[in-house]
Amino acid sequence: MARTPEAFKKNQDIDAYVRHEVTEIDLSDRRVRVENLDTGKEWWEPFDQLMVATGAVALRPPIENIDAEGIYGITTLKSGMIFKGVVDREKPRRGVVIGGGYIGLEMAEAMLMRGMEVSLVEMAPEVMGTLDPDIGAIVSQSLIDHKVDLYREEALTGIEVKNGKVTAVITENRVLPADIVVLGTGVRPNSDLAKAAGIPVGVRDGIIVNERQQTEIEGVWSAGDCVQTHHLISKKPFYVALGTVANKQGMVAGINIGGDDAVFPGAIGTAITKFMETEISRTGLSQKEIEDLGWEFITGKVKTRNKPGYYPGAAEITVKIHAEKGSGKLLGGQIVGKQESGKRIDTIATCLHAGFTVEQMVFLDLSYAPPFSPVWDPVAVAARKAVKEI
Amino acid sequence: MARTPEAFKKNQDIDAYVRHEVTEIDLSDRRVRVENLDTGKEWWEPFDQLMVATGAVALRPPIENIDAEGIYGITTLKSGMIFKGVVDREKPRRGVVIGGGYIGLEMAEAMLMRGMEVSLVEMAPEVMGTLDPDIGAIVSQSLIDHKVDLYREEALTGIEVKNGKVTAVITENRVLPADIVVLGTGVRPNSDLAKAAGIPVGVRDGIIVNERQQTEIEGVWSAGDCVQTHHLISKKPFYVALGTVANKQGMVAGINIGGDDAVFPGAIGTAITKFMETEISRTGLSQKEIEDLGWEFITGKVKTRNKPGYYPGAAEITVKIHAEKGSGKLLGGQIVGKQESGKRIDTIATCLHAGFTVEQMVFLDLSYAPPFSPVWDPVAVAARKAVKEI
């Protein structure tokens, strides 16, 4: 009845049910309803400990024809392979991307690399809404430089279809002919099943877990894109759908379910992506997130080079950091730059974990040699600028 | 009498004496003896505040003919330009490098890039003595892979000269014909003048300064390669000749001399370099430095890739960290890897500043996307390995 993949069989006494779906969680009798997707057979499977790791689902704008042929959401390896297959086979000429976030930008790049004409529609004033608008503007410009037809502050209003297949994307201002459409409109926790069972959910319906990844129900655990996560800077729960956080949470849940004791302290929203040669990264709180908390803050921003100007390959980098007014305690940072810029966000992320002030950041003993960095690392220069604003 | 460069003239009321040398410091009468190197004229210049920023001097092995023509120490921009001029003009075929530290490796690379045959002689078992031997061995292998004739555990014993010009380098075991020789044998504080005046010196004759960069003499300040520096991990003074530390110390000294108040908290010995495509970085204490302190420690070491294996350009990276036995408090780290590996040392450096344990490092919210890193950053993987040893 249960099909056990080889990887599980080899080392563990695990029944791994593939092509099966849990259709209901029964908390009072501590059992789940399982359906075999091939045979349709259903049964109740009892549990002592239950791990809910249902991940996220792509958000689809509530628009007619959004499920038409030729419209793709990219959320799983499989959905990416399907998309690639269609592009290879049908050789679409015009691709339209809805949404300028991580997935939108990566898919725009992928289509450009295959010689397609790419349009991108973004509701906000700039792409990359997790960045401050002035930093997002640098990314928007990079899209324009690479001949993406970028339409900002335009909402998707309709989809034109012929024989069930998309032919155009309609926005408030225009009709964009489309051979293929990518939805980069974000995800939400796939928590419907848990919610229906009575497992409490919080921010954006993310399952509420404690620092041991236990839900509010004894013996029921959850981790990853289906839970809400503790934000170490805002000290509030937030929703983040990233592999880094999911991985750590999964490890912690596994340790605890196994009877040992582990704690996931929380996350700070560190993320990185690239569009062509432009690297984009962020951590902690953005300007808007700080404003929403009602905190007073200062900012240090520098546009410089990531290596000494005389060194071959020195490239533009912009670093922006926010800190608490008065104390100077770091709240967040953003980086946009060319090659070898993005990963520097890890220094800012580590400073956030440490609770450093911008003054402490100035005196970090960071690495320098001309092939790698100016003698004052751009991160420290941004901190020096912020110090002046305290 | 005094020649003032334009850069100083423009904004400041500064007399800048170029081609002048201070030959004596008189602390009791608070004056310095200045000599005009062009005219030979000497006089006493009084001071209220004195800044000693005399830097470092290259160490020359005490060997006959070490000052022969064709033997170069590379310590200043000017010495590098002279060397380059000689190489361009005389087109030497065989270069020998004495010492496998930062300068030795960089000069070996520079000569290889110009098509020369390069030999390198190193007294220790591996090059890069600031790394643990197992990490240094990876760098040694990289030299060998690039056809450097590498002779380890061999001391320089002599120099062969013809008409005052070097013809060969003699070691314990062999004679290496040489058209040109580079000394990469390190530097020492250029503190003779200060020492002669009675300004107290410490480690390796580095001038002793407090955290405001003041020497033990009121109104006499010092910073950079001529001072000893407080090590934030060992809590002991050490000697480090790096631009990053010098720059920060100079800034602090300047602020304090100007009547304001600033503190240089100390350094942790972060450094980075590259040899061809191999990036090399270190921070904090090495195994030998920890052993010299008599501290018990644990180690986490991982050889992995700096990006997911499936991503184009994924390259080998080795990360090694040391932590205090029992507490797990981080003591130091080293990285050797191909492109986009070295700068990750900044994450480890920031963790050292923060006083993090390896357990805290595991849960750092570091950035991940396939073009940049595996979902578990190699730094966090090394920390996970170390956690198991606590």
Residue A16: the pLDDT is: 78
Q: Look up the pTM and report it.
A: 0.95
Mutation site, B130, B367, B384, interface A, largest A CB count within 10 A:
B367
Q: What pLDDT is stored for residue A133 in this prediction?
A: 98
Is B374 within 8 Å of B368 (Cβ atoms)?
Answer: yes
Taking the Cβ of residue B268 and every Cβ of chain A, the question of whether any pair is shorter than 8 Å is answered with yes
Instruction: Name every chain A residue with its beta carbon within 8 A of the beta carbon of B359.
Output: none
Q: Which of B247, B281, B367 lies nearest to residue A367, judging by beta carbons?
A: B281
> What would the two tokens of residue A31 be?
């059992």
Order of strands across the sheet that contains A297-305: A271-275, A278-284, A330-337, A316-324, A297-305
State the nearest Cα–Cα gap between A123 and chain B, in angstroms: 25
Under an 8 A CB cutoff, do B243 and A351 touch? no
User: Where are the domains positioned within chain A?
Assistant: 1-47, 58-185, 277-387
Q: Is the distance from CB of B366 to CB of A244 less than 8 angstroms?
A: yes
Q: Who wins on pLDDT, A163 or B75?
A: A163
Tokens of B128: 């890069």
**Amino acid B7: pLDDT:** 46
CA atoms of B328 and B141, how far apart (whole Å)? 31
pLDDT computed for residue B12 by the predictor: 57
Question: Using one digit for the tens of pLDDT, what is the confidence trace for A334-378?
Answer: 999 999 999 999 999 999 999 999 999 999 999 999 999 999 999
CB contact under 8 A, B368 and A244: yes
pLDDT band at A7 (very low <50, low <70, confident <90, very high): very low
Count other C-beta atoms under 10 Å from residue B201's C-beta: 20
Confidence of residue A286 (pLDDT cuts 50, 70, 90): very high
The DSSP element (H or E) to which B7 belongs, if any, is helix B6-11
Contacting residues of B for A369, CB less than 8 Å apart: 102, 271-274
Q: Which residues of A touch B271 (CB under 8 A)?
A: 367, 369
Residue A281 tokens read as 């990264």
pLDDT at A202 exceeding the cut of 90: yes
CB A181 within 8 Å of CB A71:
yes
Q: Do domains B58-185 and B190-265 have the same CATH topology?
A: yes
Task: Tell whether B244 lies on the interface with A, counting CB pairs under 8 A.
Answer: yes
B352 Cβ neighbours under 8 A, 6+ residues apart: B232, B233, B268, B283, B284, B330, B331, B332, B333
Chain B interface mutation, best of A113, A350, A376, A379, highest count of B Cβ atoms under 10 Å: A350
Residue range B42-74, pLDDT digits in tens: 999 999 999 999 999 989 999 999 999 999 999
What's the confidence (pLDDT) of residue B11? 53
Instruction: Identify all chain A residues contacting B212, using CB atoms and an 8 Å cutoff.
Output: none
Look at B270 and A365 and tell me if their CB atoms are within 8 Å: yes
Is the predicted pLDDT of residue A284 greater than 70, yes or no? yes
Contact of A283 with chain B, judged by CB distance below 8 Å, is answered with yes
Enumerate the residues of chain B whose CB falls inside 8 A of the CB of residue A233. Answer: none
A351/B350 CB distance under 8 A:
yes
The predicted pLDDT at position B190 comes to: 97
**Given CB atoms, is B313 within the 8 Å cutoff of chain A?**
no
Contacts of B264 in chain A (CB under 8 A): 363
DSSP symbol at A110: H
Fold (topology level) of B277-387: Enolase-like; domain 1 (3.30.390)
Q: What is the C-alpha to C-alpha distance for residues A384 and A30, in angstroms, rounded to an integer? A: 57
Give residue B16's pLDDT. Answer: 78
- For residue B12, count other CB atoms closer than 10 A to its CB: 10
Please list every residue in chain A whose beta carbon sits closer than 8 Å to the beta carbon of residue B272.
Answer: 367-369, 372-373
Q: What is the pLDDT of residue A121?
A: 98
- In our burial notation (b when 16+ CB lie closer than 10 A, e otherwise), range A250-270 reads bbbbebbbeeeebebebbbbb
**ipTM of this predicted complex?**
0.95
pLDDT at B2: 39
Interface of A with B in 218-237 (CB under 8 A): 232
Of chain B, the end-to-end C-alpha distance in Å amounts to 65
Q: Specify the pLDDT at position A4.
A: 44
Q: Does the pLDDT of residue A12 top 90, yes or no?
A: no
Q: Chain B closest CA to A181's CA: distance in Å?
A: 23
Token pair in block for residue B118: 């390069």
> What is the model's pLDDT at position A153?
97
CA nearest to B51, candidates B237, B189, B209: B209
Instruction: Decide if A320 contacts A132 (C-beta within 8 A).
Output: yes
Which segments of A330-377 does DSSP mark as H helices, in order? 345-354, 358-362
The CA-atom distances, in angstroms, between B126 and each of A209, B100, B153, B338 are 50, 8, 8, 19
User: Cβ B242–A368 below 8 Å, yes or no?
Assistant: yes
Angstrom distance (rounded) from CA A147 to CA A161:
26
Residue A351 with chain B: CB contacts under 8 Å: 350, 354
pLDDT tens, B2-41? 344 454 455 556 677 889 999 999 999 999 999 999 999 9
Which residues of chain B carry a pLDDT beneath 50? 1-5, 7-8
- In CATH terms, the fold of domain B58-185 is FAD/NAD(P)-binding domain (3.50.50)
What's the topology of domain B190-265? FAD/NAD(P)-binding domain (3.50.50)
